[in-house]
Amino acid sequence: MNIDGARRKILLLTILICIVSGPAAAAKHTASTSEAAVETSKFGSLDDGTAIDLYTLKNAKGATAKIITYGATLTELWVPDRSGKLGDVVLGFDNLPGYMGKHPWFGATVGRVANRIAKGKFRLDGKEYSLEINDPPNNLHSGSKDLSRVVWKAEPVYERNGAAVRFTYNSPDGDEGFPGSLLVTVLYRLTNNNELQLEYTAKTDKATPVNLTNHSYFNLDGDKNILGEVLQLNAEKYTPVDATLIPTGEITPVKGTPLDFTHPVAIGAHIAEMKGDPGGYDHNFVLSAEAGKLKLAARVFDESSGRQMEVWTTEPGVQFYSGNFLDGTITGKRGVVYGKHSGFCLETQHFPNAVNQPAFPTVILRPHSVYSTQTIYKFSTR
């Protein structure tokens, strides 16, 4: 065979290899990108015509998280039970009007300062600031126009082991009564290990308090109340509160009280012993491990479905709320009426009213510093 013939043979062989391997390579690429996906759709519009987008995160195991740009709100979270059947484990609404109306922060990103501030006042660097009294006589979750009531910018984030979306909002100086322009980001990531990871960052141009959290109400077994779900908290102490649910400043052991969840206990086992206005649990628990390091804060197990949820966080505290004020006046997704104890919250956080309690871990963010926290909701079955 001459040299030209050999070259032609090599060329034909190369073309044949490309024809055979090309579609296979393309199919492989499609398979790898389809393991986790970010989808965007329209969820509705505000009265002024502003579009609200829905971001759907899907992982390789079929779990799904849905978040809207209104309030960077988690609207649905579908995870499997022990038989592999997917179920939505968070409370919420089917449509945008539900989230625009009055509701107890279902799934919302709350701030600038989550939880309560006594009498809606605090002093910072010699100046007093006054906030809205939306939970008389206190301020709760920064007011009725907090970060859960604004439209966030969003962008999908494509990652190897999951799907993610990053939300951004620039809260102007004086917003909600707080000083400083605050640039906030929240990253939602659904991993292929059925972890919903939340990463918060914030920067400011003036000293200001910051305490961000997610306010999802969980129910691991759908329509039943949560009193039979078994909770364990990695917290040997809590912050007692006064009659208006403001911490007294004390840090007290849970041992010997109905707030002792240091070992697995059904949520409803001792709830009748909780006297006073809450009619259940609405308390900040002091986490045992060092603040700033990711550690296990809580574990919840539902025997009926086999679902288990672990909460990991870098925060120093977690607010356990047993849905005491749900009263049957709200109809949520799929027509479900949310009565008392229809869901529970595990809000990772700095302590309530920390801005007025120097002994509590500080919530003050200053220029040239970065607020950065992480919380993970990890789902499994047994």
Same domain? 42 vs 15: no
Give the least confident one: 186-195, 290-299, 304-313, 359-368.
Answer: 290-299
Same domain? 23 vs 113: no
Residue 34 vs residue 3, higher pLDDT:
34
Same domain? 88 vs 197: yes
Same domain? 162 vs 144: yes
pLDDT in tens, 232-254: 999 999 999 999 999 999 999 99
Same domain? 150 vs 217: yes
Same domain? 30 vs 105: no
Full 3-state SS string of the chain: CCHHHHHHHHHHHHHHHHHHHHHHHHHHHHHHHHCCEEEEEEEEECCCCCEEEEEEEECCCCCEEEEECECCEEEEEEEECCCCCEEECECCCCCHHHHHCCCCCCCCEECCECCEEHHHEEEECCEEEECCCCECCEEECCCCCCHHHCECEEEEEEECCEEEEEEEEEECCCHHHCCCCEEEEEEEEEECCCEEEEEEEEEECCCEECECEECCCECCCCCCCCCCCEEEECCCEEECECCCCCECCCCEECCCCCCCCCCCEECCCCHHHCCCCCCCCEEEEECCCCCCCCEEEEEEECCCCCEEEEEEECCCEEEEECCCCCCCCEECHHHCEECCCCCEEEEEECCCCHHHCCCCCCCEECCCCCEEEEEEEEEEEC
Number of structural domains in the chain? 2
pLDDT of residue 122: 98
Same domain? 324 vs 225: yes
pLDDT for 100 beyond 70: yes
First and final C-alpha spacing in the chain? 68
pLDDT for 2 beyond 80: no
Same domain? 66 vs 180: yes
pLDDT for 1 beyond 60: no
**Residue entry with tokens 């010997």:** 256
Cβ count near 253 (within 10 Å): 13
pLDDT in tens, 49-89: 999 999 999 999 999 999 999 999 999 999 999 999 999 99
Which tokens sit at 195?
């972890």
pLDDT for 166 beyond 80: yes
Q: In the chain, pLDDT over 70 holds for what percent of residues?
A: 90
Exposure of 300 in the CB half-sphere (CA atoms within 13 A): 26
Q: In the chain, pLDDT over 90 holds for what percent of residues?
A: 86
Q: Averaged over 270-277, what is the pLDDT?
A: 85
Q: Averaged over 124-151, what is the pLDDT?
A: 97
pLDDT of residue 218: 98
pLDDT of residue 277: 58
> 157, 113 in Cβ contact below 8 A?
no
Same domain? 11 vs 142: no
Active-site residues, by number, are 215, 347
pLDDT for 152 beyond 90: yes
Residue 170 vs residue 36, higher pLDDT:
170
pLDDT for 221 beyond 70: yes
Same domain? 214 vs 359: yes
pLDDT of residue 244: 93
Q: Averaged over 317-336, what is the pLDDT?
A: 96
pLDDT band at 158 (very low <50, low <70, confident <90, very high): confident
Same domain? 29 vs 103: no
Chain centroid to CA 234: how far? 19
Same domain? 62 vs 18: no
Structural domain of 190: 38-381
Give the least confident one: 3-7, 322-326, 339-343, 378-382.
Answer: 3-7
Query: What's 100's domain CATH number?
Result: 2.70.98.10
pLDDT in tens, 5-55: 444 443 333 333 333 333 333 222 222 334 889 999 999 999 999 999 999
Give the least confident one: 141-150, 215-224, 309-318.
Answer: 215-224
Average pLDDT score over the chain: 91
pLDDT band at 146 (very low <50, low <70, confident <90, very high): very high
